[in-house]
A = this chain, B = another copy of it.
Amino acid sequence: MNTNLSFACDYMEGCHPVILEKLTETNLIKTPGYGLDDYTRSACEKIKSACWKPEAQVFLLTGGTQTNATVISAILKSYQGVVSASTGHIATHEAGAIEACGHKVLTLPSHNGKIDAAELSRFLVDYDQDANHDHIVMPGMVYISHPTEYGTLYSHSELEEISRICRQHHIPLYLDGARLAYALACPQNDLSLQDLAALCDVFYIGGTKCGALFGEAVVITVPGLIPHFFTIIKQHGALLAKGRLLGIQFDTLFTNHLYEHIGKSAISAADQIRDMLKSNGFQLCYDSPTNQIFCIIDNSVMDRLLSQVECSFWEKYDDSHTVIRFVTSWATTQEDVQRLGTVLSFCFS
């Protein structure tokens, strides 16, 4: 039925079939609204268990930009901003949602999508020592993403160091896990859910790009960090009337370790594509080990390629080359990968 070949993104399909089965099975059962139902309760318990954090609070929201804006503005004081890599999603592709809530995004240099702990430390120390710091925006929390927007991963020791610096400065650390399943399924990743829960003050477990129809699970590991978060969610228009839909989805994703496994085929497909690109002479960039693959391509080859397969323009590399991105997902099939192989050989020839 689906004949177009596309690696444009990881939200092109609906959801993992078992989620749809659950939604169908429970469809006519009556539940209270707004996440006060048993499915949501169960999902939150399972997430807390998976994180080894019984004291955590879990809230289920609908989408990533919504989650970032709601969490960040709930944590920051009016005079504070959020520190992010200059390439962070909140700094670039959220249409100014953080600023619309009244806060500046304070950017640090991006190292393939990551911030550097030493640069973060210097930034926070410089702020503290600035004679005029009463006139400038105070850093009030740190935002990172894992995997990053460039598909790269923080190592355990990198995250530990960032976390240590944040705690030393009494600044909450927030991790955007929109594609977290693809980190968890990646052999190079050494950060477990339990590590994230131990090292971050808040993080979210992405559903939308990781097998759900939609949904992001916010885990507040420090109880009481955000008082009245329910009302804050409502005020942001982020409270789903039929909260059960989020509950059922995350309950399914956290049954039988589905979430931790759902990205495996995507990683293996991405590895195959990386190999195919390299063996066809394409030059990879950013060294991403997860489900996003970036390569530098001659513009004339790109035109030929894009006539056969959909992928995304990432950025201009130089006057005659472009960085493009392929993305795999839990729904990528081996057939898709084989077809891409054929296309790549054709483009290279």
Contact = CB atoms under 8 A, between A and B. Distances in A.
Contacts of A11: 33, 241-242
Interface string A215-242: 0000000000001101110111111111
A174 interface: no
A63 interface: yes
Contacts of A242: 11, 14, 208, 213-214
A33 B329 CA distance: 14
A349 interface: no
B1 A13 contact: no
Interface stretch (A41-49, A51-59, A91-99): A91-99
A32 interface: yes
Contact of A77 (B102, B228, B313): B228
A184 to B, nearest CB: 20
A18 to B, nearest CB: 11
Interface stretch (A66-74, A265-273, A276-284, A292-300): A66-74
B8 A14 contact: no
Nearest to A103: B99
A236 B242 CA distance: 20
B63 A79 contact: no
B135 A231 contact: yes
Contact of A62 (B26, B62, B95, B232): B62
A20 interface: yes
Nearest to A243: B11
Nearest to A69: B237
A149 to B, nearest CB: 12
The CB with the most chain B CB atoms within 10 A, among A93, A96, A132, is that of A96
Nearest to A17: B27
A87 interface: no
Contacts of A138: 228, 231
Given A29-B1, A30-B12, A208 B100 contact: no
A286 to B, nearest CB: 18
A181 B228 CA distance: 33
A78 interface: yes
A317 to B, nearest CB: 14
Given A13-B30, A65-B239, 17 more contacts: A17-B27, A24-B24, A62-B62, A63-B240, A68-B237, A77-B228, A81-B96, A92-B136, A95-B135, A95-B232, A96-B104, A97-B234, A99-B137, A135-B231, A135-B234, A138-B228, A213-B242
21 contacts: A1-B28, A2-B28, A6-B30, A14-B26, A20-B24, A20-B27, A65-B234, A79-B235, A81-B96, A81-B99, A93-B135, A95-B134, A95-B232, A96-B103, A96-B104, A97-B237, A100-B102, A104-B105, A135-B234, A208-B242, A209-B241
